Structure 1
Amino acid sequence: MHRFFKRKTPEPEEQNIGDVTVGEFDFSQLPADPGLRIPICSYNANIRDQVRRRYLQKGPCQPSSYEFPKRKFGVSQFRRFNPSWFKEFGDWLEYSIEKDAAYCLYCYLFKTTKGKQAGGETFVSEGFTNWKGKDRLYIHVGQHDSEHHKARMNCEALMNQDEHIQSILHKQSKQMRNDYRIRLNASIDCIRVLLRQGNSFRGHDETEGSLNPGNFLILLEFLGAHNKEINDVILKNAPKNCKLTSPDIQKDIVRACATETINVIIKDISNSLFSILVDESRDVSMKEQMSVVLRYVDSSGHVNERFIGIEHVTSTTALSLKAAIDKMFSKYNLSIANVRGQGFDGASNMQGKFNGLKALILKENPCAFYIHCFAHQLQLALIVVAKKNLPISNFFRIVGDVVNVVGSSCKRSDLLKEKHSDFIVEALESGEISSGRGLNQETTLQRAGDTRWGSHYNSLISLISMFSAVIDVLEVISEDDSSSPDQKTEAFNLLESILSFDFAFNLHLMKHVLGISSELSTALQKKDQDIVNAMDLVQVCKHRLQNMREDGWDSFLEKVHYFCQQHYIDCLKMDDMFTRWAPRGRPHRNPPEVTNLHHYRVDLFYGVIDMQLQELNNRFSEASTELLLCVACLCPQNSFLAFDKKKVLQLAEFYPQDFSRFDLLVLDDQLETYICDMRSNKTFQGLKGLGDLSEKLVMSKKNMVYPLVFKLLTLALILPVATATVERVFSAMRIVKDRLRNRMSDDWMNDSLIVYVEKDIFLKVDNEAIIQKFQNMKTRKEQFYFYADFNVEDAVLIFENYEEFLSASHSQESI
């Protein structure tokens, strides 16, 4: 129930007469003493009679009389005022018995500038007492444009709630609001589908009757065709100025979706400590984009890496990147003081010792320790092996040429697939391979790339699996009359190169070496991978390479020989002398005489493995740093075998902002109880890493028993391992902003990427939250409100400052 007004008297001697409400009259609040200023006018006959009955119930007159009771001394209540005037001017006239004066209710409620009403302030505050005639009452009423009539119209409009209050503020009925909500929900649902899939919104021609209106309009039509309630309020059935399908509306809804998704992430981070992962890459329109990911531990003890945005940077200098990070942190109310780790690649603008992004952040926060991306280091180690060893470098060149020649045209690719399919069918019939779900599917050769993790290994695997088909295709090219002489020559040379024992040996050698590191690369790219497990995986990789060097030669050589026999490649005798290649007519100068066994086992097999081990040791130097050695003491494996109290205390000293001297003393005592509890509690046995330990502590509420130990564990978990999440963002960027959408603005791309990458959070965001955010972004043609009760002062302010009131209302919460 909306309160209409609460009478406010301008003079001290006058008192409130109570509340008048829209649709109801609260008679219980009226004063019983008729000596006060009496409201004779009301807003319908029933209420007017009830008002009079309230004041006349103690007097001798009948309730329907228009006279007032006598005073105690028998003096008439009325002097020269004629009560019959109430019948003629009863819609506005009021009379005060105490003052013997008449007042105008309308002008009192909605008085404007002083002196505008007829008679000045007479009918408002002073009271009209000139009873010579009623002509002055007519003068006060005036013509149709008088101030009295304006006040009357305002009062009538204020009283007519259904037709005026809502009409002035919104121009909409309950049904219109319901239709608007259905229409808006339908648009949001269609946009949800497009955002989850990273699809485009608009079409080439969005006019009515177009056959290519775009994905958004097609989805909306489809939704309406399967739901009559939606179909009745969308597109052709919607108001022309409120269809909710324009590009601006689409962008606003996407912005609302992204904002609500980010709000969930920021709320989840709260005041927790976190690490920052940053990388930059170019999009399809050749703009340099910087992606930012935060790594933190949530309230359940689980490690999360969340993408919070992409920022266009005009320069990739460290200062530009730092400014972009500060801008993003300010936007989301994040503090650089809460950063406890940095994860970048090996570029100089990132990890430069003096002017790199790492150094700039460390100047502000010395506890933001830098960890070079483990997966990037592993890829660099593989590239170095491929480039430093001449036979291996030449081998990868031949592999690249084979991929280029065989896959250079659609005709050759189709021929390759056809040959491979025939080989699969033949192998299945002979029983060499077995069939099953996911086995022997259609595939093609994969190209290796220095910046793509694991691409070298995948390229070699595809070449081995399709080796027979590749040979057949090269033979067809070299013998095809339609091929040019250059193409024939190239195919013939490649065919001669790959059908050699040297190529088969290098192919299997690099396949085995890269296979060991590929498992490490895959493990490092997990979001919840902790730094201790990553270090252990590196050690496992080194251990496997060392075992391969010591005990793997015989089994490896057997596999090479078997492969050569399958593809009719001549196998070399290991006891024969190795013949080195030399230009014709120019013999080697003092060539060393070695056997084939020495060359392939020592120069290649041992040489490649040793070089790989050396690069891993050089690249993963962080594994020997003091910080990570201390972190390793928290590892729960083998019943906390690696626990070392001194190193754990030393780890706390690395974070002076989080552990005071008093905390260190408390931690010293707390660690004794903690390790006894962990080793004796069966719940904490068999844990594999810091992540498992963190979740178990939260689940058993031990994190509140050992808060300082849990804080140390959190700091260890947020240390970044790899920037795989950032790389996935760039992969998603190429889906969201492709060649056909290369004019997409930075803001729209950022909003779309946030929802696409963090779709697991977006799925939990309710439509009501999106609607509320969408409505509050700007003034809409349709708007929802909760109305507070209005008193007379509010009503006057509404009518005197209508535009300011609307502006303030639109900034309030809607829905």
Structure 2
Amino acid sequence: MDKYLIKKPRTQDSSPVQDSSPVQDSSPSSKRSRVDFNLENLPSDPGLRQKISSYHPNNHDEIRRYYLGKGPCRPPHDYPVSYFSGKPRRFRVEWYENRNWLEYSIAKDAAFCFYCYLFGKGVGKQGGGDTFVTKGFRLWNQVGKLDSHVGGVNSAHNQAVKKSEDLQKEEQHIQSVLVKQSNQDKANYRIQLNAIVDCVRFLLFRGLAFRGHDESQDSSDKGNFLELLQFLGDHNESINEVMQNTWKNCKLTHPDIQKDMVNAIAHETSKAIIEDLGNGFFSILVDESRDISVKEQMALVLRYVNKQGIIIERFLGIVHVASTTALSLKCAIEGLLCEHNLSLSRLRGQGYDGASNMQGDINGLKTLILKENKSAFYVHCFAHQLQLTLVAVAKNHINIADFFYVVSNLVTVVGGSCKRRDALRDAQFAKIKEDLENGVRRSGQGLNQETNLKRPGDTRWGSYYGTILNLILMFSAVVDVLEIIEEDGLFDQKVEARSIMRVSKQRLQVMRDDEWTSLLTEVSSFFSGRPRRNTQQNTNLHHYRVELFYTVIDMQLQELNNRFSEVNTDLLICMACLNPSNSFVAFDKEKLIHLAKFYPYDFPGTDILALDSQLQNFIFDMRNNDLFLELQGVSELAEKLVSTRKHETYPLVYLLVKLALTLPVATATVERSFSAMKFIKNELRNRMGDQWMNDCLVVYIEKDIACSIDNETIMQRFQNMKNRRRQL
């Protein structure tokens, strides 16, 4: 055949197609390079999306279902101003009303059509042509064009809307037409799916693994999911009958089905959190840590005041970051917020640890965000500040550093082996038993618990404090163990034990022989109030009171002052004026007005004048209202304002209260999320994918929200995620 046919030379395009430049295709028959995609990485911002036509046709419906499940991108945002003929104009949130197709791009400051992007083809010049799909609409002075885009009944826009409705109607799909399902089949499918949801919920809420080593029918190690499903069937005849009569390839037990179900629950949980936040402002708590597979993960928590006036911290998600630079973290934060229809413009606080990439004044994460939003004030976690301050002082004061050096050596010597730990435990037990018999100690539930010595950690002052407390409680037992080591231990151990014992005994002996008189004189002088004169001796009281206590306190105060910026100090002082304790004794109108000026977006000039009047009426009302006399803390004030509907009477004052509560002071919630991550992704589950781990964490951490979501909502989302063989 080759001599009768002339082959055309094949042209291969060796240049890869970049995600940022979609392929332009003027001829439908021309060959095009297709853009690879991952549902996890599809951008939420309409201004950053690829054209649907740039993806392979086989993937179009999957991408459309993904976006339909998320809905139009409508992040609450402080929309920037553009000028038309010298007049300021901007996008307005009121334009969303009666326009379920309209979405907004923060990246391009432009409006887009949700349905025309998903299903629009060849719109020509109708309704603005391709503007609402690729370029974006920005003519804020010509709002009428938003309605003209919709057009008539048979317009390209309305046809796109109709196609989206058809895609979500399972009964119209060709698969549903070819394979008819009876009502009984649908009822059985619902029973089966409902049982699957219950099993998935049970495992997620307890952080248990799903898979087993051998999931065959006769295996004794099928895994938690299959065994729990079988257990449900054994105790429920209807579930057992459905599972036994279901086709082998429709059992809904495949790992992909499990992941889809978990993803559906996680999406509904996150959706409930975002709905609880509403259009309000929020703060973010961010930290980074490595998981068991040595991948750097960034966890993000939202802090906000809900509609009931309750301060809430919710885990939003965890993101794998290849780089921990400030710019990379900022991009990851923006992407995660945009995925949930949130905007950095609504940010009113940042809470991180003290890492340089977080709090750096030049290129730190907090600085990059502050450049875009001046009201997103950064507060270094108070717990971290206090711990770092105490640890720094402990290392910089020679006497304290020497003390903890001895304590550390003591813990090492006494607890250096299992044998010594057992000896310490036995000695402490004997001491407690003797004290109980002599009536020195009281017995009861929770008392006289078993304790042990542990080495203090450099970044947790609580570990130093705990070590000292345990050492005080077990001092007699520690001395006994040191004597045992001195007699029976190896040569090096004997030297260490004798050294520690010698220092302690010599110090006690000196105090016994030579310092009683001076100590008595100091105590008498202290309590009588008569100052000592013409004395040069350095007594114990002077040493511990002046050289240690006063010096260390001064060092701590100086260290704390250095760690608080002037802005943070002003914020905290002003916020303290909202404290309702003791009939609002801390109230100061001028400081609260000064606080409002820190948030110019929330309190423009006219609102500052109105706030002055509201504050005067507010404090008079509060001090004469019995319902507000016994309040303790700003959080109780916010709840009481909402429950009595006073937040409607004093909206600007309540706004100040919310801002005060929103500012983050500790990152404990983020720390707990990392603890959960270590529990979910452990050594036996170290190959979990990023999306799979994120979904499991969202449901596990926010199980109280996930519990409130009914099975029907989860099943509907699961059903709409992909084309399913069976319909509800």
- TM-score, normalised by the number of residues in structure 2: 0.69
* 2:643 is the counterpart of 1:699: yes
Alignment match, 1:743? 687
Query: Does the CA-based 8 Å contact 1:501-1:571 persist in structure 2?
Result: no
Alignment match, 2:213? 204
1:314-329 alignment to 2 at 5 Å? 314-329=322-337
Query: Does the CA-based 8 Å contact 1:186-1:230 persist in structure 2?
Result: yes
Alignment match, 2:385? 377
Alignment match, 2:634? 690
Alignment match, 1:387? 395
- 1:403 is displaced (CA, Å) by 3.3
Alignment match, 1:367? 375
One-letter amino acid of the structure 1 residue matched with residue 206 of structure 2 = Q
Alignment match, 1:574? 515
Alignment match, 1:182? 191
Equivalent of 2:464, from 456, 467, 475?
456
Alignment match, 1:709? 653
One-letter amino acid of the structure 2 residue matched with residue 398 of structure 1 = V
Equivalent of 2:430, from 413, 422, 426?
422
Alignment match, 1:194? 203
- 1:409 is displaced (CA, Å) by 3.9
Q: Which moved more, 1:644-653 or 1:430-439?
A: 644-653
* 2:289 is the counterpart of 1:281: yes
Counterparts of 1:713 and 1:726 in 2: how far apart (Å)?
Answer: 24
Q: Which runs of 5+ in 2 are unaligned?
A: 1-170, 520-535
Q: Secondary structure at the match of 2:452?
A: coil
Query: Does the CA-based 8 Å contact 2:379-2:568 persist in structure 1?
Result: no
Query: Does the CA-based 8 Å contact 1:199-1:736 persist in structure 2?
Result: yes
Query: Does the CA-based 8 Å contact 1:293-1:308 persist in structure 2?
Result: yes
CA distance 1:379–1:623, change in 2 (3 Å): farther
Q: Secondary structure at the match of 1:625?
A: helix
Q: Secondary structure at the match of 1:306?
A: strand
Counterparts of 1:721 and 1:778 in 2: how far apart (Å)?
Answer: 43
1:149-548 alignment to 2 at 5 Å? 168=177, 170-234=179-243, 238-452=246-460, 454-480=462-488, 484-496=490-502, 499-500=504-505
String of CA shifts for 1:498-526, please: whole Å, max 9, x gaps. Answer: x4586xxxxxxxxxxxxxxxxxxxxxxxx
CA distance 1:174–1:416, change in 2 (3 Å): farther
CA distance 1:265–1:396, change in 2 (3 Å): same
String of CA shifts for 1:479-536, please: whole Å, max 9, x gaps. Answer: 44xx544344444444545x4586xxxxxxxxxxxxxxxxxxxxxxxxxxxxxxxxxx
Aligned length: 541
Query: What is the RMSD of the two structures over their aligned residues, measured on CA atoms?
Result: 2.9
String of CA shifts for 1:176-222, please: whole Å, max 9, x gaps. Answer: 33333233222322222222222222233333333333222333333
Alignment match, 1:813? none
Equivalent of 2:589, from 640, 645, 649?
645
One-letter amino acid of the structure 2 residue matched with residue 694 of structure 1 = A
Query: Does the CA-based 8 Å contact 1:301-1:694 persist in structure 2?
Result: yes
- TM-score, normalised by the number of residues in structure 1: 0.62
Q: Which moved more, 1:678-687 or 1:316-325?
A: 678-687
Counterparts of 1:340 and 1:165 in 2: how far apart (Å)?
Answer: 50
Alignment match, 1:153? none
- 1:607 is displaced (CA, Å) by 3.2
CA distance 1:501–1:490, change in 2 (3 Å): closer
- 1:388 is displaced (CA, Å) by 0.8
One-letter amino acid of the structure 1 residue matched with residue 383 of structure 2 = A
String of CA shifts for 1:710-741, please: whole Å, max 9, x gaps. Answer: 11111111111111111111122111112222
* 2:573 is the counterpart of 1:629: yes
Alignment match, 2:74? none
Counterparts of 1:751 and 1:501 in 2: how far apart (Å)?
Answer: 61
CA distance 1:476–1:764, change in 2 (3 Å): farther
Counterparts of 1:201 and 1:463 in 2: how far apart (Å)?
Answer: 44
- 1:456 is displaced (CA, Å) by 1.8
Q: Which runs of 5+ in 1 are unaligned?
A: 1-161, 503-563, 579-591, 785-815
Counterparts of 2:269 and 2:513 in 1: how far apart (Å)?
Answer: 63
- 1:169 is displaced (CA, Å) by 5.1
One-letter amino acid of the structure 2 residue matched with residue 574 of structure 1 = E
One-letter amino acid of the structure 1 residue matched with residue 713 of structure 2 = A
Q: Secondary structure at the match of 1:280?
A: strand
Alignment match, 2:614? 670
Query: Does the CA-based 8 Å contact 2:428-2:477 persist in structure 1?
Result: yes
Query: Does the CA-based 8 Å contact 1:342-1:720 persist in structure 2?
Result: yes
CA distance 1:418–1:759, change in 2 (3 Å): farther
Counterparts of 2:421 and 2:196 in 1: how far apart (Å)?
Answer: 43
- 1:376 is displaced (CA, Å) by 0.9
Query: Does the CA-based 8 Å contact 1:317-1:349 persist in structure 2?
Result: yes
Counterparts of 2:465 and 2:570 in 1: how far apart (Å)?
Answer: 33
Counterparts of 1:182 and 1:495 in 2: how far apart (Å)?
Answer: 72
Q: Which has the larger radius of gyration?
A: 1
Counterparts of 1:630 and 1:740 in 2: how far apart (Å)?
Answer: 50
One-letter amino acid of the structure 2 residue matched with residue 252 of structure 1 = D
Query: Does the CA-based 8 Å contact 1:183-1:233 persist in structure 2?
Result: yes
One-letter amino acid of the structure 2 residue matched with residue 190 of structure 1 = C
CA distance 1:744–1:340, change in 2 (3 Å): same
Counterparts of 2:552 and 2:512 in 1: how far apart (Å)?
Answer: 21
Q: Which moved more, 1:365-374 or 1:620-629?
A: 620-629
- 1:331 is displaced (CA, Å) by 0.4
CA distance 1:185–1:461, change in 2 (3 Å): farther
Query: Does the CA-based 8 Å contact 2:234-2:240 persist in structure 1?
Result: yes
One-letter amino acid of the structure 1 residue matched with residue 397 of structure 2 = N
Alignment match, 2:698? 754
Query: Does the CA-based 8 Å contact 1:577-1:594 persist in structure 2?
Result: no
Counterparts of 1:171 and 1:362 in 2: how far apart (Å)?
Answer: 58
Counterparts of 1:342 and 1:280 in 2: how far apart (Å)?
Answer: 14
Query: Does the CA-based 8 Å contact 1:307-1:754 persist in structure 2?
Result: yes
CA distance 1:176–1:720, change in 2 (3 Å): same
1:759-774 alignment to 2 at 5 Å? 759-774=703-718
Q: Secondary structure at the match of 1:735?
A: helix
Query: Does the CA-based 8 Å contact 1:635-1:642 persist in structure 2?
Result: yes
CA distance 1:596–1:427, change in 2 (3 Å): same
CA distance 1:635–1:577, change in 2 (3 Å): closer
Equivalent of 1:776, from 709, 715, 720?
720
Counterparts of 1:222 and 1:172 in 2: how far apart (Å)?
Answer: 28
Query: Does the CA-based 8 Å contact 2:195-2:239 persist in structure 1?
Result: yes
One-letter amino acid of the structure 2 residue matched with residue 673 of structure 1 = N
One-letter amino acid of the structure 2 residue matched with residue 263 of structure 1 = K
Equivalent of 1:731, from 675, 679, 682?
675
- 1:658 is displaced (CA, Å) by 1.2
Query: Does the CA-based 8 Å contact 2:391-2:459 persist in structure 1?
Result: no
Identity of aligned residues (%): 59
- 1:167 is displaced (CA, Å) by 6.6
Query: Does the CA-based 8 Å contact 2:391-2:461 persist in structure 1?
Result: no
- 1:319 is displaced (CA, Å) by 0.2
Query: Does the CA-based 8 Å contact 1:622-1:628 persist in structure 2?
Result: no
One-letter amino acid of the structure 1 residue matched with residue 189 of structure 2 = Y
- 1:751 is displaced (CA, Å) by 1.2
